[in-house]
Structure 1
Amino acid sequence: MNIPMQVVSFLSSRGLKLATAESCTAGQIASYLASVPGSGACLDVGFVSYSPSGKVGFLGVKESTMKQYGLTSEEVAREMAEGALRVEGCCADVVVSNTGLADSGPDGGPPPGTQCYAWSFRTRDLDIVTFSETRQFSGDRNDVRSAAALYALSRVEHYFNQLPSATGERHLRSTP
């Protein structure tokens, strides 16, 4: 079974809805899910916020966070995911976000292929629990974007299964 099909099956079996908050992948995470028959039952909404102004205006990312940590950071990815859960009209239980570089960036910045992720879950008591991690992928621009999108989906069930042990912690940084 392929990754998008596994995620749709997992979400559907638990009655969960997913939203995406994407930068580098530019909607590819949502697109992979939408390619699976039956995904309408579990795909809520997708945000593509490629620019800093989009991250601030639509997802509530703080400019100070972007300045302090850079656009390619777990801190920005977390604020993107949590911001999407707070958008009026978003009915998702989980948001997957990513921000990163598909190819070379500014000198002194992260290496090409660096992707930062966050997975935010709305708990039954309406708290938000967020996990984050950073990965690096190789290949050309579109290879990186595709691998990054599939990786984001591949970790949804993993982090969902860590929720019981995350009680009382709002942000969790994970190493695979």
Structure 2
Amino acid sequence: MNITKQIAGYLMSRSLVLVSVETCTAGAIGSMMADQRGTSGCLDLGYVAHSAAALAALPGVNTQTIARHGLVSEAVARETAEGALARSAGRASVALASVGWLANEDHEPGVAVTHCLAWACSEGGRVHSAGETVRLSGRRSEIRRSIARIALLGLPQFVDGVFARE
């Protein structure tokens, strides 16, 4: 089954609304989700931060966290996911954040890149979040596709884990 179709079905079946923050995927996750029929009711905001300055300026990102952990870190990814969720003013119930950059425009296929992902959800007035760091190598398009896949597949895993603890 198509991953975006699977995730769209997951969101719709649980009446969840998604907000996303993306860096090197440059909006591909939001675009992939929007391509699925019937998803208009389960998508809210999509942020694309394609520079360090833009990422640092997103809602919820704390300069002290950047200084302590670095810009590409699970801590910053979690802050971006939580901040995007808060910024949606209750319209969104889940968020995903994808934080990292390829080394340069002419990314060398064998060079591994570090990418940090985070997921957040609002439940019962509380915000829960989790993060994951991945290292990927390959061609630029392969890395971007892998990041989108990992981010999307991690969403139901995270949300189901939060609700299982409640």
Q: One fold, TM greater than 0.5? A: yes
Q: Is 2:45–2:88's contact at 8 Å kept on the other side of the alignment?
A: no
Map of 2:149 onto structure 1: 150
Q: 1:107 matched to which residue of 2?
A: none
> How high is the sequence identity, in percent, across the aligned residues?
35
**2:13 is the counterpart of 1:41:** no
Give the whole-Å Cα distance in 1 for the aligned partners of 2:59 and 2:76. Answer: 10
Partner of 1:87: 87
Moved over 6 A (4+): none
Higher mean alpha-carbon deviation, 9-18 vs 22-31, is at 22-31
Q: CA RMSD in A?
A: 1.9
Gaps of 5+ in 2: 105-110
**d(CA) in 2 for partners of 1:20, 1:63:** 21
User: 1:103 touches 1:141 (CA, 8 Å); kept in 2?
Assistant: no
8 A contact 1:102–1:142 mirrored in 2: no
Unaligned runs of 5+ in 1: 105-110, 168-176
Shift of 1:89: 4.5
Alpha-carbon displacement from aligned partner over 1:130-154 (angstroms, at most 9, x marks no partner): 0111112221222211110111001
Amino acid at match of 2:148: A
- TM-score norm. by structure 2 comes to 0.88
- Report the CA distance between 1:90 and its aligned residue: 5.8
Q: Tell me the TM-score normalised to structure 1 length.
A: 0.83
Say yes or no: does 1:64 pair with 2:64. yes
Determine if contact 1:78/1:118 at 8 Å carries over to the other structure: yes
How many residues are paired up? 161
**Deviation per CA, 1:11-52, whole angstroms, max 9, x where unpaired?**
000111001011221111111111111111211110112223
* Deviation per residue, 1:25-80 (Å, 9 max, x gap): 11111111111111112111101122233233332311121122112110110010
